[in-house]
């Protein structure tokens, strides 16, 4: 039941445009430092696992092996099979890791906690940026988002 909920959240991330599906797109997202959580299917091949490890290291992102097959992960993202997917949104990554940790706290608890800390830091940085913008009269410097 919890896995179905997790797979639905992964599908929602795809529809929101916050999921890079497949080895090449996931690798590109990692190398661009856009990946927040790299998802690896439980039955991924050894070579895929090695590449995923390199992607996560290069992108300095967290990676987890999800407790589902390539076919199940593929079905969640509208494909026949999927071994790798990169979540590019911190909120979705936190939600997926939280759902995995609820089902298996021993295996996924640390990842969920690390993503929670990252989310809190990001929220703090946004608030600090708002305060700086307000001090300047609400105007941002040209070229800044």
Structural domain boundaries of the chain? 2-135
Residue 2 CA to residue 41 CA, distance in Å, equals 16
**Structure confidence at residue 136 (pLDDT):** 81
Indicate if the pLDDT at residue 139 is higher than 80.
no
**Structure confidence at residue 134 (pLDDT):** 84
pTM of the predicted protein model: 0.86
* End-to-end Cα separation, the chain, in angstroms: 40
Fold of 2-135: 60s Ribosomal Protein L30; Chain: A; (3.30.1330)
- Looking at the DSSP bridge assignments, the partners of residue 64 are 39
| Residue in the structure block whose two tokens are 């070229």 | 143
As a three-state string, the secondary structure of 10-43 is: HHHHHHCCCEEECHHHHHHHHHCCCCCEEEEECC
Assign 3 a pLDDT band (cuts: 50, 70, 90): confident
């Amino acid at each position: 039941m919890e896995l179905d909920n997790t797979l639905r959240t992964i599908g929602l991330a795809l529809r929101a445009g916050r999921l890079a599906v497949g080895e090449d797109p996931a690798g590109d997202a990692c190398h661009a430092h856009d990946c927040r959580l790299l998802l690896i299917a439980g039955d991924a091949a050894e070579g895929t696992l090695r590449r995923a490890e390199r992607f996560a290291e290069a992108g300095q992102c967290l990676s987890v092996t999800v407790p589902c097959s390539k076919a199940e992960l593929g079905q969640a993202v509208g494909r026949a099979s999927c071994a790798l997917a990169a979540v590019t949104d911190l909120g979705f990554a936190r939600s997926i890791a939280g759902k995995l940790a609820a089902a298996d706290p021993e295996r996924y608890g640390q990842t969920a906690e690390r993503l929670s800390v990252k989310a809190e830091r990001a929220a703090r940085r946004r608030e600090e940026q708002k305060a700086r913008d307000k001090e300047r009269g609400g105007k941002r410097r040209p070229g800044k988002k």
